[in-house]
Structure 1
Amino acid sequence: MNVEKEYIKLIFGLKLKQARTNKNLSLFGLAKLTELSKSYLNEIEKGKKYPKTDKIILLAEKLEVSYDHMVSLKLDNNLAPIGEILKSGILKEIPLDIFGIQENDLIDIIANAPAKVNAFISTIIEIAQHYNLTRESFFLAALRSYQEAHNNYFEDLEQKVLDFSKAFQININTKISIEDLTAVLTEEYGYTIQEIVFSEQEELGDLRSIYVPKSKTLLLSLDIDEQQKAFILAKEIAYNYLEITERLYTFSWIKFKNFDEVLNNFYASYFAGALLIPRKQLVSELNLFLAKSDPKPQEMIQLMSQFNVSPESFYQRLTNILPKDFLLKNIFFLRLSHKIGADTYQIKKELHITNQQEPHANEMNEHYCRRWISVKTIVESIKQNKSHFFDAQISRYENSGNEFLVFSSATEDPFKKDCLRSISVGILITPGMKKKFKFIDNKSIKKQIVGVTCETCAVKNCEERASPPVQLDLKIRNENTEIIVQKYMAKFS
């Protein structure tokens, strides 16, 4: 059996702790019995140290267990679940460190109630399998939690962008050109950049770039527009300037080998967004926009066009700036995808800053609310044949009563043929938010009661409904059944 050394130490520590507790001994008591220090024994039990043979013999003798039992990698039935977790390597997959959790702390929690914790972990795994959640889904969920924990604002990366612009004399107060980005990569970092037709290979149809590290060659698809090219080049600069080595080599990504690649991909993307949309300039432009009493959709599109970025990059940048500079911390970000002619819409990306979780992705193939502005912009983009359709509305979520001002842009999906996508940012409406948005009470902004999915929505007489509220009906039926059951319980008690 090939088990890492640290896990051998952990397993021995678990067995020692089990043997000690079986004898009703405290660490203090075992220390007196063996004349070993309490701190040393504690280090062993936590899996930080592995005792020498003579110490194992001494411990086995005092605890009245065999030497072979102590050094065996086989755990008793009640600890077996921990062994399976350790051998599976799942703890290596969980990015505990970014949440400030030590692996040994988690092992200690598991050791104190192995059966219950194992049942919990097994349940999580079963749910993940039931909903077809992949390893990548797990990594991306962990990344979202990391972003949300920091309000999606990272001061160190913002400063790195300023340091870079000064070191390379890049004027970030003007729209950065492809030529400037290319020059940095070729002259400073020794890149060779070639443009080729990826679409000639069907399997490469969704890719926009490939980086070949051995020759420092960046292959760019001829199908990408200037904004996509700018983002890819800025991201490559980020990988080099931030000295990131564990990275992805394709855009978009194919698979992640580990969480470090996920996190580094995010860091590079954040840097690229902050470079192409400088914080100071965006704050200034947003202040001008928010001061308007009746802004028109075209004015938001014009604001976006001041930066050499796609609508998605612009909306992503809003999720960095609004919480930090405008103190608007109840925000969601959504990216929806839709194939022309289909009746389905899929959430491909989401982010919720703070704890407001509406709307949210649903893995049960339910129909997202057709009253969402995220859906409506896609519908109108097709109907009006516009390359970029922007709109906004105030959405009041029927289940929670929360109201959000939601901005949404629909464009062609650059990665999928005959597909459109919408990018949306929703901002929770509060008294403080209303003071910043001068146009929030303007009657030109549509107001709409919305749900999350049709199957769970209680909105009456909804003409846009794509499916009956089957999940809601089932919930109500079960609640009514429970009421009747309780009446019988009372009657026959």
Structure 2
Amino acid sequence: MNNEHIKLIFGLKLKQLRQEKGLSLQDLSSKSGISNSYLNEIEKGKKYPKTDKITALATALETEYDELVSLKMSKKLEPITKLLKSNLLTELPFDFFGVDTAQILELFSSAPAKLSAFINAIFEIGKNYNLTVEKFYFAALRSYQELHQNYFPELENEAARFINEKIDPNEQFIGEQHLIELLGNLYGISIEFFDEEDQPVISNMRSIFRPESKVLMINKRISRNQRAFTMAKELGFQFMSLKERPYTSASIDVKSFEEVLNNYKASYFAGAILIREKLIVQDIENWFGSETWNPDALIEMSERFSATPETLFYRIGNVLPKYFGIDNFLFMRFDALPGSQKYFLTKELHLSKRLGPQENKEEHYCRRWVSISILDHLSSKQEAGKYDKPIVDAQKSFLSNRKEDFFVFSMARPLNILKQLNISVSLGFEVDESLKSKIKFLADKNINRQEVNQTCERCGIFECKERVAAPTLLQKERHEEEIRKVLEKLH
């Protein structure tokens, strides 16, 4: 526990003991011989008194010296100690959200009992919903992305600087061999490929970086585009000197928020050097300017930039707010075992407001979303032996419970590294007159329109053939509303 937290705990204990004794600051000042203003600074956690003053305070409060300086707090304030020991205050980037840590400490000192109760409630919620510190970090990262509309000029500038300094700017696309040469020539990093025969325990990982030997291990089973992203991401770590970072592609043990943030920065950098800002903006302009919906345009972009569908969709999401004024959209990634009918929302980003499904393991996602129906389509193709390239589809989605229209396009493919896993990535936009003027093919009548909802449990589309669970939560809501109306009449 750092010195700031120790000062805060001492101040909180002093304030609690003073109030329990029914003493005002002036009363304690008179009994201890310590000035009123200095006592106020101590209770706010800004000052830590010397030994002689602690002795005077212990005598005035009729308590033991050791009790006063102990870091153990009363049961009432114990949740605050738990929060301080968790290091969340030091590891979360409050400054990114315009919050000064000193303001939080001030809040602790001004209403410790109430805040302690609130913190305890948060811990209980986290326990009940298995909200780990790692999940908290990723939630904070999503909020940070949303706050900045998922576009970071400083990272775009770093990518542009790398291209200008290390690559011929006229070379629009970076191939896999070039990435291998850049890692070797610039940073002395060699590539070593492995598979389940070489490394059976880690065979489901895309990559592992071994810093001491400067070896980037890459799984043989991943696609060419995944290999390109992995190497471009390592270039990001090296070029931007991001020291606190993960060394595996999959999170094993997240140690801090800085690690999560740096991993995101390196990923953003990778997307920006593989898919140049000016080039993707030009491609989107051409695509949006077409009068007809052309799904092959997305496959062509993915192949041209050597980018996975996920990298491409994320990159599109980066530039939409700045260059197209489209800042009300969502990104989703769903995973599913082929033919399983079980779908998992593994990544999501909502700009402006929550537009579509959010992570929910207790309920059943609406099967009418194109993000999910496209996975069923992929499974059917695989069973028939007809799958040869990623599947692209689009949908005009009418969200019945909010009476709003969305345009959603999605791309689905098998995840190479895991033979029994399919994924779909989607971008969805709230449809208004402004969006219609920017995306010409929205008027294309060949795009299917479908009424959707978030989950079966909340859905009022009772004649839905795709429903897999009863609308229990909707029925509960309506029953509670009926009770409220009856109670109002009784008044």
Query: Structure 2 length normalisation: TM-score?
Result: 0.91
In the alignment, which residue of structure 1 is the partner of 2:338?
340
Which deviations, in whole Å up to 9, do the C-alpha atoms of 1:119-151 show, x marking residues without a partner? 333333333332333332221111111111111
Note if contact 2:25-2:39 (Cα within 8 Å) is conserved in structure 1. Answer: no
Q: 1:418 to 1:80 in 2, by over 3 A?
A: closer
In the alignment, which residue of structure 1 is the partner of 2:402?
400
Which deviations, in whole Å up to 9, do the C-alpha atoms of 1:251-277 show, x marking residues without a partner? 133231221111110000000001101
SS for the counterpart of 2:89 is helix
Q: Structure 1 residue 26: deviation in Å?
A: 5.5
User: Higher mean Cα deviation, 5-14 or 138-147?
Assistant: 5-14
Note if contact 2:204-2:418 (Cα within 8 Å) is conserved in structure 1. Answer: yes
Q: Structure 1 residue 51: deviation in Å?
A: 1.7
In the TM superposition, 1:283-322 aligns within 5 A as 283-322=281-320
Q: Which amino acid aligns with 2:449?
A: K
CA distance in 1, matches of 2:222, 2:326: 34
SS for the counterpart of 2:440 is coil
CA distance in 2, matches of 1:297, 1:334: 18
Aligned length: 485
Q: Structure 1 residue 454: deviation in Å?
A: 0.8
In the TM superposition, 1:12-411 aligns within 5 A as 12-19=10-17, 25=24, 30=29, 34=33, 36=35, 38=37, 41-60=39-58, 67-92=65-90, 94-171=92-169, 174-198=172-196, 200-364=198-362, 366-384=363-381, 385-386=386-387, 387-411=389-413
In the alignment, which residue of structure 2 is the partner of 1:473?
475
Q: Structure 1 residue 247: deviation in Å?
A: 0.8
Note if contact 1:79-1:111 (Cα within 8 Å) is conserved in structure 2. Answer: no
Q: 1:415 to 1:110 in 2, by over 3 A?
A: farther
Q: 1:118 to 1:15 in 2, by over 3 A?
A: closer
Which deviations, in whole Å up to 9, do the C-alpha atoms of 1:257-304 show, x marking residues without a partner? 221111110000000001101111111111111111013211232133
Note if contact 2:11-2:109 (Cα within 8 Å) is conserved in structure 1. Answer: no
CA distance in 2, matches of 1:481, 1:375: 36
Which deviations, in whole Å up to 9, do the C-alpha atoms of 1:336-369 show, x marking residues without a partner? 01101212111010001112342212131x1111
Q: Structure 1 residue 21: deviation in Å?
A: 5.3
Note if contact 1:394-1:448 (Cα within 8 Å) is conserved in structure 2. Answer: yes
Q: Which amino acid aligns with 1:11?
A: I
Q: Which amino acid aligns with 1:467?
A: A
Note if contact 2:79-2:120 (Cα within 8 Å) is conserved in structure 1. Answer: no
CA distance in 2, matches of 1:15, 1:121: 17
Note if contact 1:172-1:276 (Cα within 8 Å) is conserved in structure 2. Answer: no
- Indicate the RMSD between aligned Cα atoms, in angstroms: 2.6
Q: Which amino acid aligns with 1:378?
A: L
Which deviations, in whole Å up to 9, do the C-alpha atoms of 1:451-487 show, x marking residues without a partner? 0011111123111112221221122223323444555
SS for the counterpart of 2:228 is helix
Note if contact 1:172-1:278 (Cα within 8 Å) is conserved in structure 2. Answer: no
SS for the counterpart of 1:407 is strand
Q: Structure 1 residue 61: deviation in Å?
A: 5.5
CA distance in 1, matches of 2:273, 2:40: 49
CA distance in 2, matches of 1:231, 1:411: 17
CA distance in 2, matches of 1:467, 1:14: 51
CA distance in 2, matches of 1:28, 1:436: 69
Q: Which amino acid aligns with 2:349?
A: L
CA distance in 1, matches of 2:231, 2:241: 15
1:434 to 410, 433, 436: 436
CA distance in 2, matches of 1:123, 1:356: 24
In the alignment, which residue of structure 2 is the partner of 1:7?
5
User: Higher mean Cα deviation, 257-266 or 91-100?
Assistant: 91-100
CA distance in 2, matches of 1:28, 1:411: 72
CA distance in 1, matches of 2:68, 2:306: 64
Q: Structure 1 residue 393: deviation in Å?
A: 1.1
Q: Matched residues, percent identical?
A: 39
Task: After the TM superposition, list the runs of 4 or more consecutive aligned residues in structure 1 that deviate by more than 6 angstroms.
Answer: none
In the alignment, which residue of structure 1 is the partner of 2:445?
443
Query: Structure 1 length normalisation: TM-score?
Result: 0.91
CA distance in 1, matches of 2:26, 2:221: 67
SS for the counterpart of 1:193 is strand
CA distance in 2, matches of 1:486, 1:4: 54
2:454 to 440, 444, 452: 452
Q: Structure 1 residue 164: deviation in Å?
A: 0.7
Q: Which amino acid aligns with 2:336?
A: H
CA distance in 2, matches of 1:173, 1:107: 52
Q: 1:120 to 1:62 in 2, by over 3 A?
A: closer
Q: Structure 1 residue 404: deviation in Å?
A: 1.5
Which deviations, in whole Å up to 9, do the C-alpha atoms of 1:369-418 show, x marking residues without a partner? 11101012112222233331001111121111222211100111234222
SS for the counterpart of 2:68 is helix
Q: 1:229 to 1:88 in 2, by over 3 A?
A: closer
Q: Which amino acid aligns with 1:335?
A: R
Q: 1:428 to 1:12 in 2, by over 3 A?
A: same
Q: 1:82 to 1:282 in 2, by over 3 A?
A: same
Q: Which amino acid aligns with 1:383?
A: S
SS for the counterpart of 1:204 is coil
SS for the counterpart of 2:234 is helix
Instruction: List alignment gaps of at least 5 residues for structure 2.
Output: none
Note if contact 1:198-1:207 (Cα within 8 Å) is conserved in structure 2. Answer: no
CA distance in 2, matches of 1:37, 1:172: 69
Note if contact 1:290-1:438 (Cα within 8 Å) is conserved in structure 2. Answer: yes
